[in-house]
Amino acid sequence: MNHCGTLPLETDRLILRRFELSDAPAFYRNVCSDPKVNIYLTWKLHESPAETEALLEDFIRRYENPARYCWAIVLKETDDVIGTIAAPTVHELTECVEVTYAIGSAWWGKGYMPEALAAVVDFLFDRVGVNRIEAGHDIRNPNSGKVMQKAGMQKEGIHRQAGRNNQGLFDLVFYAKLKQDRM
């Protein structure tokens, strides 16, 4: 794989870029303090922008690793950070990455996350050279699976009680896309 780190990406309505500390207030307001989003996350609901700033400091520190991929999702129309998408797990041996994402509930159902995911999928295949992109969701959150399907990912199955989020253990619905699926 040709690791190059988190490079800026652009879609019709979104800019995907590295997080900056100045994003903390918007990321806190739009994502990290949103209880509707938080139930499916692994980090606790943030009670203050300072908690979000600490999270972003960690994200930013990890950008030193060229195999680290983590984008802020910025709405072009408002220049506001409305979510995040990342590939936090890289399996070098199998040329595979796992993708995760979160977007504020005010932007659910508007097509922003499938748009962001499609851009990241293209980047990971075309620029990084991965062979497989995988993602999973809590079985109680079927809309996340719809995002994966819209990005061309195929459902592979359910891993029983294979995930843990703020609701506890959950059945993980697994999706993937292979480089050969694009041809």
How far CA 130 is from CA of 59, 147, 174, 176, in Å, comes to: 22, 20, 18, 12
| Alpha-helical regions (H) of the chain | 24-27, 35-38, 49-62, 112-123, 142-150
CA distance 180 to 43: 34
CA distance 40 to 166: 6
CATH of domain 9-182: 3.40.630.30
The pTM for the full model equals: 0.95
pLDDT at 18: 98
DSSP 122-162: HHIIIII--SEEEEEEETT-HHHHHHHHHTT-EEEEEEEEE
pLDDT at 67: 96
* Structure token pair of residue 67: 């195999």
Domain ranges across the chain:
9-182
Are the CB atoms for 40 and 165 separated by under 8 Å? yes
pLDDT at 182: 84
Are the CB atoms for 42 and 164 separated by under 8 Å? yes
Each residue's pLDDT tens digit in the chain (183 positions)?
999 999 999 999 999 999 999 999 999 999 999 999 999 988 899 999 999 999 999 999 999 999 999 999 999 999 999 999 999 999 999 999 999 999 999 999 999 999 999 999 999 999 999 999 999 999 999 999 999 999 999 999 999 999 999 999 999 999 999 999 986
pLDDT at 112: 98
